[in-house]
Amino acid sequence: MTAICLIRHGETDWNLQRRLQGSTDIPLNSTGLNQADKTGKHLKDTEWDVIVASPLIRAKKTAEIINEYLQLPLIEMEEFKERDFGDAEGISLEERTEKYPSKNYPNQETIEDFTERLMTGLKKVQKEFPNKKVLVVAHGGAIHTILTTISNGEVNLDNTPLVNACISNIQFAEEKWNVSNYNLSEHLL
């Protein structure tokens, strides 16, 4: 069984301002750095084999801070980057709602392409690390899409956003992915 712990990156100023980040490379703020540190402390006495991170700096830095406690191989995978939201990136929620009420943003990556990229990433992790325990540090939209896809819509977080630095656990067993839990954030208190 391949086990994956999905970790959302720590907070950025754009998270705080409710600006859509997508593929824009925004660093962690001081709260985000602290969240990453708390997540690392929470995981330090657990057994993992490798950390996989999105190459965007907010996820990569979160992974690096966590890895200060774990000392694991850390690799980047493009497949776990956040969705490219095109012309909506950098725009606040209020501006987006006014300008794009249908949430159909010009030049954005299609949900189909985004989902396919993420599922390709999961297959790659499963193939490269069979029967291993893998930490994947990624993004809210990416983790939401993974959880919704592998649960066939049973896990739907449209009305419950994933907390920065939250933990969600999935496993590949009996030829399918299963969600064990999601949006865990007690370690941040």
Is 9 an annotated catalytic residue? yes
14 annotated to a ligand binding site:
yes
67 annotated to a ligand binding site:
no
Is 42 an annotated catalytic residue? no
42 annotated to a ligand binding site:
no
Give me the catalytic one of 68, 76, 78, 82: 82
The vertex-72 CA angle with 71 and 73, nearest 5°, equals 135
9 annotated to a ligand binding site:
yes
87 annotated to a ligand binding site:
no
HEC sequence for 17-85: CCECCCCCCCCECHHHHHHHHHHHHHHCCCCCCEEEECCCHHHHHHHHHHHHHHCCCEEECHHHCCCCC
117 annotated to a ligand binding site:
no
Give me the catalytic one of 9, 89, 139, 144: 9
Binding residues for substrate: 8-15, 58
Which residues are known binding-site members? 8-15, 58
**Catalytic sites, residue numbers:** 9, 82
